[in-house]
Amino acid sequence: MKKGLFLIAIFIICQITVMANSTDTTRISAKPLFIIFSNFHQGISESAHESNFDVKRAYLGYDFNLNNGFTANIKIDIGSPDDNSQYSLIRRSAYFKTVGIGYTKNKLNINFGIIDNQQYKMQEKFWGKRYIFKTFTDEYKFLSSSDLGINAVYKFNNKISLEAGIMNGEYLNNQDGFLKYIYNFGVNYLPIELLSFKFYSSYTGNNNDLLKGGIFVGIKPSEKIMAGAEFDSMFDLKETGDFITYGYSLFCNYKIAKKWSLFGRYDSLNSNIPDGYTIPFNLSKNGSAIIGGVEYQVNENVRLSLNYQDWYPMAANMSNTAYLYFNLEFGIYESYKRI
């Protein structure tokens, strides 16, 4: 699998080189990307006393604006692919987050390679605080944030756009090879300027028939207020019965001054009781979370946040955890410049 990813990266870099050496170079430009997510956290519940400084993520990359509607990008993620690993705080690895080629013409945009999953982009844009906490869809593994494959977005007008893609599925964690594809589909609908809707679905027959779906509603009634609500579900249609994971997330943000804002979020994750079970099949992972605090925008490159984060498991034999976090995001997004 690593050899295959390496060959894909070489292929894409070669394509970039070929297009960059074309006779018309007047529109070729590049934009560097550098982002760091860091935090200090202190446990405040009985079962969580530890405190740590942590650099959660570092992204390094480049976006290329090529000729004739072509773009390319490469982004390296320096962090732990599995944040749940016991070594995630001390072991760091670098891997391709995105390595892709894009093409845009009129209302159509197509991307190929290791690319971002379009089905969660609207939610992440509304939430706007990835450096503090992932979106509900990403955090609880309803969809992966990036994958290996191809996707397309067709914008009918300013109100409706469709998304479709074929992916291999969690390319970093699939050690047995790519068995079957994941088929993604999404609809974005903006009926009025202050209101946005998102619907997505995903299906794969890998191991079992796995069907995922979700809906998101975002509202921005003014420049100071933003709120969002999301519901996600995942159906694992095993021969022994239907195993359903589902949940929702509610969040809001209120800008109290030019650089200051307050935010809050509530997550709830649950699962069903299949035939033959007496408790929810995924009980050890079911629960609810609250994230809330204050954010300060130092400038366009730096954001700071003091916030509270907890997790209340549904299982009676598991302990609640609560932390105070001080999060920092530092990023450089230079304007497009000549190569």
Output the DSSP codes for 23-83.
Answer: S--TT-EEEEEEEEEEEEEEE-BTTB--EEEEEEEEEEEEEEE-STTEEEEEEEEEE-S-T
The answer to which of 12-26, 62-76, 129-143, 163-177 has the lowest mean pLDDT is 12-26
Taking residues 33-41, report their average pLDDT.
Answer: 91
Examine the pLDDT at 311 and tell me if it is beyond 80.
Answer: yes
Q: What is the pLDDT of residue 335?
A: 41
Tell the CATH superfamily of the 2-338 domain.
Porin (2.40.160.10)
SS3 string of 306-323?
EEEEEEEECCCCCCCEEE
Examine the pLDDT at 134 and tell me if it is beyond 70.
Answer: yes
Examine the pLDDT at 98 and tell me if it is beyond 90.
Answer: no
Instruction: Note the pTM of the prediction, 2 decimals.
Output: 0.84
pLDDT digits (tens, 9 = 90+) for 271-299: 999 988 999 999 999 999 999 999 999 99
Q: What is the pLDDT of residue 87?
A: 46
CA geometry: angle at 195 spanning 193 and 199, to 5°?
Answer: 125
Q: How confident is the model at residue 238 (pLDDT cuts 50, 70, 90)?
A: confident
Taking residues 167-194, report their average pLDDT.
Answer: 76
Rounded CA-CA distance 292/263 in Å is: 6
Q: What is the pLDDT of residue 85?
A: 47
Do residues 112 and 150 make contact, with C-beta atoms less than 8 angstroms apart? yes
